[in-house]
Chains A and B, each alone.
Chain A
Amino acid sequence: MNFLYPFIFLLFGTYSVLAQAKATVEYGVVYDLSHISEELKMKYPEFVEMQREQKTKESELTFLLDINGRKSLFYHPMIDENDQALWLLFVDAGGKHVFYTDVKKKRVFEQFEYWNKKIEIETPTDENPWEFTDEKKKIQNYLCYKAVKKSANNVDGKSKNKVEAWFTEDIPLNFGPRGYSGLPGLILELKENHMTYYVKKINFNNDVQVDYPKFKGEKMTLEQFLEAAPSIKQKAKQMIINSRG
């Protein structure tokens, strides 16, 4: 009869549903340059120089994570496109992507523009479960535990890296950067590929609303997108060539 409890509770309970956790979390980024290979250094010195220039712009990026109840939105406000190094870092850090997470629906929606085409990728939140490790560390006064999971394939479809998340049970917000959620506390630090996102500030005193962001993009799964990506890219390149006559 246990399965009836929620119904009984709903029907006869005198409780009302009101209290929801609300917060806005600000994340900074650290760009890891150690992946630059010897070969790359020798072949493309200008590219390497630009990567270094990008690193100097880290402090100018602040991602926002809005949380309301069991919904969250992760994004970065638009920046000045004229600063080339900052813009490239912004793009590399996923600044053009918006992540909307709905725990109730168990869905993450990633919205972005790929070669002038608007795309929305829908992924189940529980598709790729977290693996808990026994590693822990203190981030300031917060005891953090480490959890890892396989990284979702990025646009080039080649990423096999693990995502490392450091979360704390002391801040009971079950979200983190880039649509990652499902840990028993806020993700204070998240490392994916060459980018590390870390919490700079949490604001509890704002009445933040989180709703599904309207976006007229083509809806597809990650697999569908990875399959379609080369032709989208090719088509866009062709259009650019055509427009130049």
Chain B
Amino acid sequence: MYMLRHFYFAVFFLFITTASSQNIKVEGYVVNDEKKSLEGATVIFSNTTSDQKNFTTTDENGFFRIFLADETMVNLKVTFIGYEPAILTLQNLSEEIAVTLKEIAEPLDEIKLDYIPEPIIVKRDTITFDVSKFVDGEEFKMIHILEKLPGISIVGNQVLVQGKEVKKVLVEGDAFFQGNTTFAIENIPAEVISKIEVIDDYNEVEFLRRLTDNDATVINVKLKEDKQHFYFGETKLGYGNDNFFNLKNDYIKYSKQTQFAVVGAINNTSNPLDNIVNLLLENPSETTSELNRSLFNWAFQDKFYKENLQTGLGVSFKHKIKENSQLSLTALYKNQTDKKEKFSFREYLNPLEALREESFEKQENTFNNLIFNITYSHYFNDNETLLINSFMDFTENKKNLRYNSIITRNSDLEINEFEESEKLYFNNSISYFKKFNEKITTTVNFNYYGNSKLNNDEYTANEILFTDFFNGELFHQKVRDESATVKISGEFFYTVFKNFIVDFKINAANQSGLASLKLSSPFGETFSSFENNLNIQTGNTSTGISYSHKRFNLYSSINLGAVNTTFSRENFISPLFKVSYKKSVEKEISLKYEYIVRPVSLFEMRDFAYVKNQNTLSIGNPYIKPVKYHLFDFNYYLSDFASGITFFGKAVYLNYAQFVLTENQFENQKNTENSYSTNLDREELTLQIVLGKVLDKVKLNLSPQWNFSNYPQQTEKIEIRNKNSRIRLRLNGETLFKQFPNLKLSFTHTLNSFKNEFTSRDYNVSQISLGIFKNSKRITYGVNYAYSKSSNVLLDNIHHFSFKTIYNFPDSRWSVFVEAENLLEESFYTSQFVTDIAITEQQISRIPRNIIAGISFKF
């Protein structure tokens, strides 16, 4: 009896333990319609409200027993090979369940699956590439993997996924340093990557993703399990002809907790310091932010220098202080001393008198730039986030310019200019995001930014430069431009029900500035001075509704606002309408209409003139009004990544209701520009198609594009209507051999047409670039040849030839390299139309031919 009591106690204990997690015991048996027990039948319980499932299999008697988590698991599915599945909804889980399966009348003899493990998984907002299915082990960096993935192309500094630009690169969900795509793809080692995820409609704050209209596409790198942290570094030193040299040192360390980088370079070959600047540069195509504009100058500089010595250093540190907060600090410094020489042919499209100018320019510059950026993010929980950012950019520039020109009528003109400029820009912002509950989400943003810019110019000329402006041949011009802006914005989202969201946005900004000009003699005697206090206040409220049904989404909003300046006030109503159908990242169609009102820049509103450059006198206008335009944007994606097919179509049409027209008045070779607001018709249209296909060993990409603009121009009080058209056809192809060298081909043909009442010119430009590349364990090499030909008689044909080869010593971290560029051509020609002036420039001071050999050590 004593033993029996212990037995009961043991059984009771066993049941209690099981009941704590899985507390409902369900039993039953499975037979076929001949009452034969089915051994190994699969029995799955589920409920309708979640994805949770419990399952078991039957024993040799067809019997099953399972413990379920709760009473809602009443949906039962029983399956067995050769039998129809039984799907039941149970009324009572406590009763024994008897399931009879019915034999399939004509059972399958066999199933054949014609596939290899799916290397691409496509979901609504994500495409996942299983990297292992695309690589051959010869890839060094992430860029070499991306080149092999279907639908992804790398054009210049942009990574495009079926034509959409990738805005950021994340590693395991967090931005790799600041997220710059070039920095990530050129630095992350290929060997650490397990998967590449392309995420569409991305928002840094996850809970805002479904609420706002996000069109950002990002790449998230998934690391291999055993490569969750990595570091890499390289020191590279090269020396070549004519004392050309190149010294570079990179050290980058990554872990989920800490990211750290020190990158530095010194060279006189004009090799861009992109690895340094990319520590902070947000996104190559974003030119709107002041930070990017500043960084652009040193990331993507041209090579049109006769001499150039540059030094750069970047340090970045990103650390998770706690599990929920992160601090990021970045500092960049650059020093550059350069010399440039340029020959220009300018044709002023003056309707009254054709004017041609040939000029020669010689320039010496010294440039210093220091940039700091601090970001702090705190995630209180999944529904509450705080972001604080502070940024400062200080630039100092000295320019010494000598300008000689011969114009149609006049004799030689000689100008010497010495310019010193200092610029300080800062931006502080605080953003707070909170999701209160399933219904209510808010965001608040406070931004304080400003700039201070001082230009000190000294001009000496052999004749009077701008007669109305200054009656002398030698003068000083001091231009100061200062502004500060306070901007507060907030958003409120209310989810009425799952597919129906109402949002309310409010923005208020006050921008105050001071513009001043002082003209003096070289001896300090002041001739005249001007000072303007400028103000722009903007405010708007917008109410929008978003409705989704299955794959359709409809968003509509109405925006009421006002722009106040010292001399004008504009009230506006701007609607927005967007409709889209999205099945997945591959298949999407969207149409958007928006009426946009954009205030002009504060400095355009000054009411005095200043010498913009040796050719142009610029006069501001305090009555200038905001720019207003209608935007129609149509996008169409129809791709099939698994089959290697990419198709993307885009149409953008802009129609201006109000814009800033620049009036040009020529006096001799000098141009005086004056801006004012106008409602004369102006329209712009862009049509683009991208068609890509990955064949077995070839990746092809064809992208035709047509740009058309129709815009008025005011010259000598005469209105001219310009029609500018450009048709561009681009074909990119590359082979995907694993064991042989690969070939890259890029062909672009452009048809340009420019017409107005007085002139018409058509010309075409063809460019072809051919390269042979091979990455391998021992030798990596790349040879590139580019040729450009134009029908414009003013443009010469261009040849460009460069090569690069690296030899890695076996069983060593050392390697040697030889790099060469500009082997065929030392001068370079560009052509552009700058509204009313056709300019052909011969950049005769391109960095000369250089061949550099050196050593490298990887650590």
Interface set of A (CB-CB < 8 Å, partner B): 2, 5-6, 9-10, 14-23, 28, 30, 32-38, 41-43, 45, 48, 51-52, 55, 69-70, 103-104, 132, 134-135, 137, 139-140, 160-162, 169-174, 184-185, 188-189, 191, 194, 196, 198-205
Which B residues have a C-beta under 8 Å from some C-beta of A?
25, 27, 29, 31-32, 35-42, 44, 51, 53, 55, 57, 59-63, 77, 79-82, 85, 96, 107-118, 121, 131-133, 135-140, 189-191, 193-194, 224-226, 738-739, 777-778, 808-813, 858
**Pairwise interchain contact B55-A184, C-beta atoms closer than 8 A:** yes
Shortest beta-carbon distance from B836 to chain A in Å: 55
Give A47 Cβ to nearest chain B Cβ, in Å.
10
Task: Write the nearest CB–CB distance from A135 to chain B, whole angstroms.
Answer: 8
Nearest Cβ in chain A — how far from B515, in angstroms?
Answer: 56
Q: How far is the CB of B79 from chain A (nearest CB, A)?
A: 4
Give Cα A43 to B809, complex, Å. Answer: 9
Interface centre among B118, B136, B226 (most CB of A within 10 A): B118
Nearest chain-B residue to A6 (Cβ)?
A: B63
Q: Can you sample 13 A-B contacts with CB below 8 Å?
A: A6-B63, A9-B61, A17-B39, A20-B39, A21-B80, A22-B81, A34-B194, A42-B813, A69-B39, A161-B225, A172-B79, A201-B110, A204-B111
- Report whether A30 and B117 are in contact in the complex, using a CB–CB cutoff of 8 Å: yes
Known contacts A15-B36, A19-B36, A41-B137; decide if A169 and B113 are in contact (CB<8 Å): no
Q: How far is the CA of A56 from the CA of B225 in the complex (A)?
A: 26
Complex Cα gap A28–B131 (Å):
19
Considering the chains assembled together, what is the distance between the CA atoms of A132 and B54 in angstroms? 11
Identify which of B96, B193, B777 contacts A45 (C-beta below 8 A).
Answer: B777
Interface of A, helix, strand, loop or mixed by DSSP: mixed
Q: Is the CB of B79 within 8 A of A169?
A: yes
Also in contact, A173 and B81, with CB within 8 A (given A34-B132, A34-B191): yes
A45 touches B132 (CB 8 A): no
**Chain A residues within 8 Å of B62, by CB:** 15, 17
Which residue of the partner chain, among B61, B117, B137, contacts A51 with CB atoms under 8 Å?
B137
* B81 touching A35, Cβ below 8 Å: no
The interface residues of chain B lying within 8 Å CB-to-CB of A173 are: 40, 81
Name B40's contact: one of A21, A34, A191, A205 (CB within 8 Å): A21
Write out the residue numbers on chain B whose beta carbons fall within 8 Å of the beta carbon of A43. Answer: 810-811
Q: How far is the CA of A140 from the CA of B338 in the complex (A)?
A: 61
- The residue in B61, B739, B813 that gathers the most chain A C-beta atoms within 10 A of its C-beta is B61
Select from chain A the residue with minimum beta-carbon distance to B29.
Answer: A9
Give complex CA distance A42, B775 in Å. Answer: 12
CA distance A15 to B31 in the complex (A): 8
Quick one: given A19-B39, A20-B40, A160-B226, are A33 and B135 in contact (CB under 8 Å)? Answer: yes
CB distance from B798 to the nearest CB of A (A): 37
Shortest CB-to-CB span from B603 to chain A, Å, is 51
Contacts of A6 in B (CB 8 A): 27, 61, 63
CB distance from A9 to the nearest CB of B (A): 6
Q: A18-B36, A43-B810, A70-B60 are in contact. Are A169 and B42 (CB under 8 A)?
A: yes
Residue contact B25 to A2, C-beta cutoff 8 Å: yes
Task: Determine the chain A residues whose CB is within 8 A of the CB of B138 once the complex forms.
Answer: 41
Instruction: Check A174–B226 contact: CB distance below 8 A.
Output: no
Q: Verify A19–B80 contact, CB threshold 8 A.
A: yes
In the assembly, what is the distance between CA of A36 and CA of B80, in Å? 43
From the candidates B27, B41, B117, name the one contacting A5 in the complex (CB within 8 A): B27
- Residue of B25, B63, B111, B739 with most partner-chain A CB within 10 A: B111
Residue of B37, B115, B808, B858 touching A18 (CB-CB under 8 A):
B37
Q: How far is the CA of A33 from the CA of B130 in the complex (A)?
A: 12
Instruction: Check A205/B110 contact, CB under 8 A, given A51-B137, A103-B57.
Output: yes
CB distance from A56 to the nearest CB of B (A): 9
- Tell me, in angstroms, the Cα distance from A41 to B191 when the chains sit together: 11
Tell me whether A172 and B81 are in contact in the complex, defined as CB-CB below 8 angstroms, given that A45-B810, A185-B42 are known contacts. yes
Tell me whether B811 and A200 are in contact (CB under 8 A).
no
- With A19-B32, A36-B137, A202-B111 already in contact, the answer to whether A139 and B37 are too (CB < 8 A) is no
A135–B126 Cα gap in the complex (Å)?
Answer: 12
CB of B117 within 8 A of CB of A198, answer yes
A34 B137 Cβ-Cβ under 8 A: yes
Residues of B within 8 A of A188 (CB): 113
Shortest distance in angstroms between B523's beta carbon and chain A's nearest beta carbon? 65
Q: A41 to B809: give the CA distance in the assembly, Å.
A: 11
Closest A residue, CB atoms, query B777 = A41
Flag if A19 contacts B38 (CB, 8 Å): yes
> Is the CB–CB distance between A137 and B118 below 8 Å?
yes
Residue of B nearest to A199 (CB): B113
Nearest 9 CB-CB pairings of A with B: A32-B132, A172-B79, A41-B777, A33-B137, A184-B55, A205-B109, A172-B42, A36-B137, A21-B81
Do the beta carbons of B117 and A189 come within 8 Å of each other? yes
Q: In the docked arrangement, what's the CA distance between A140 and B109, Å?
A: 18
List residues of chain B with CB within 8 A of the CB of A185.
Answer: 42, 79
Q: Which residues of A contact B96 (CB under 8 A)?
A: 2, 5
Give the complex CA separation of A171 and B813 in angstroms: 52
Contacts of A34 in B (CB 8 A): 131-132, 135, 137, 139, 190-191, 193-194, 224
* Chain B nearest CB, measured from A189 CB (Å): 5
Cα–Cα distance between A199 and B111 once the two chains are bound (Å): 10
- Is there contact, CB below 8 Å, between A16 and B59? no
For residue B82, which residues in chain A have a CB less than 8 angstroms away from its CB?
A: 21, 204
Bound-state Cα–Cα, A205 to B136, Å: 39
CB distance from A132 to the nearest CB of B (A): 8
Give the shortest distance, in Å, between A235 (CB) and chain B (any CB).
Answer: 30
Nearest CB on A from B164, distance (A): 23
Most buried by B among A16, A32, A203: A32
Extra 18 A-B pairs, beta carbons < 8 Å, given A52-B136, A173-B81, A201-B111: A6-B27, A9-B61, A16-B37, A17-B60, A19-B36, A21-B41, A21-B81, A35-B191, A42-B810, A45-B778, A70-B59, A103-B57, A162-B225, A172-B79, A194-B132, A196-B117, A198-B117, A204-B109
- Please indicate the chain B residues that have their CB under 8 angstroms from the CB of A10 in the complex: 61
In the bound complex, CA of A88 to CA of B122 (Å): 34
Closest to B63 in A: A6
Which residues does chain B contribute within 8 Å of A45, judged by CB atoms? Answer: 777-778, 810
Residue of A nearest to B30 (CB): A19
Q: How far is the CA of A78 from the CA of B2 in the complex (A)?
A: 60
CA distance A199 to B117 in the complex (A): 9
Q: CA separation between A137 and B140, bound complex, in Å?
A: 30
Complexed CA–CA distance, A69 and B39 (Å): 6
Contacting pair A17 B812 (CB below 8 A): no
Is A140's CB under 8 angstroms from B42's CB? no
CB distance from A236 to the nearest CB of B (A): 29
- Of listed A15, A172, A204, residue having the most chain B CB within 10 A: A172
Contact indicator B40/A198 (Cβ below 8 Å): no
CA distance A33 to B136 in the complex (A): 6
| B811 proximity list for chain A (CB < 8 A) | 42-43
Contact B42 A174 (CB under 8 A): yes
A45 to B, closest residue via Cβ: B777
| Pair A184/B110 contact, Cβ less than 8 Å | no
CB distance from A145 to the nearest CB of B (A): 9
Say yes or no: A203 contacts B37, CB within 8 Å: no
**Minimum distance in angstroms from B98 CB to a CB of chain A:** 10
Note all chain A residues with C-beta closer than 8 A to B55: 184
Name the distance in Å between B258's Cβ and chain A's nearest Cβ: 22
Most chain-B Cβ atoms within 10 A of its Cβ — which of A17, A22, A48, A162?
Answer: A17
Bound CA span A196–B115, Å: 13
Q: Which residues of B contact A161 (CB under 8 A)?
A: 225-226
Residues in B neighbouring A30, C-beta threshold 8 A: 116-117, 132-133
The closest CB in chain B to the CB of A185 belongs to B42
Chain B residues lying within 8 Å of A41, measured Cβ to Cβ, are: 137-138, 777
Contact, CB under 8 Å: B118 / A139: yes
A169-B116 contact given A5-B27, A15-B62, A37-B191, CB 8 Å threshold: no
Write the nearest CB–CB distance from A63 to chain B, whole angstroms: 14
Closest to B80 in A: A172
Roughly how many angstroms separate A134 CA and B81 CA in the complex, as a whole number?
Answer: 25
CB < 8 Å neighbour of B60 from A33, A69, A139: A69
